[in-house]
Amino acid sequence: MLLEGRMISGLHDFLDPVLKRYAIPGGRAIDLGTGSGAIALRLRDLGHKVTAVDLNGERYRADMPFIQMNLNHPDLSPLENGVFDFVTAVEVIEHLESPTAFLRSIRSLCKPGGMALITTPNIDNAPSRFRFLLTGKLHMMDEKVPNHISPIFYDLFIRQYLPRAGLKLVEHSCYPKNGYKVGRPFYSWMFHILARLIPGKTLLGDVHVFVLTRINP
């Protein structure tokens, strides 16, 4: 069963190799902010026993356990702490009031050695920087997407959020790798050239993809 998520086209396919690298057949996984359940189904296809979580179950279509929960709540202990091999939160953290609290919850859900995959809009990219320079607004964080309330800046995420949450970075990439899918194609090629001319490793791509693990103990 193929479910489509409400996000940038092709992102789920881009995530497939990442999910496969860290899959533990027979292990337990939890998909936070599951939406329709598309990522949860991919995790199950890789051999995980999956639990799906979301605030609203109206869009959920997958045939596996579902828990309705507000992820802004600081205590996610009803989800069983320390038992999951893999935690996913695809395009979720930017919707939440406290990114650091959410990251701490992710750490709590992971068993020792457990992994987490998080994606979020790349507001460090060239289009976002240029737009902020001209308008004071961030790309993909303006009034057009009112449910995006917490921008995630790469430097702060790595240097401040992760250590405070007890997590560390395993790998990072951006999607798409060599351009943009959000915005008008006419402008995308100009930003692509700009991104090649100025320093920075987050200037290309619309989405950050972070793979994390918990710091023990």
Residue 114 and residue 106: Cα distance in Å, rounded?
A: 10
pLDDT at 2: 40
Residue 53 and residue 186: Cα distance in Å, rounded?
A: 38
pLDDT at 5: 46
pTM: 0.91
pLDDT-based confidence at 153, cuts 50/70/90?
A: very high
- Report whether pLDDT(135) > 50: yes
pLDDT at 133: 87
CATH 3.40.50.11540 fits domain 11-122+147-181+206-214: no
Tokens of 67: 């828990």
- AA identity, residue 207: V
pLDDT, tens only, 27-58: 999 999 999 999 999 999 999 999 999 999 89
Mean predicted confidence (pLDDT) in 143-154? 94
- AA identity, residue 37: G
pLDDT at 4: 47
Greater model confidence, 52 or 5: 52
Mean predicted confidence (pLDDT) in 83-112? 96
Residue with the two structure tokens 């994390």: 212
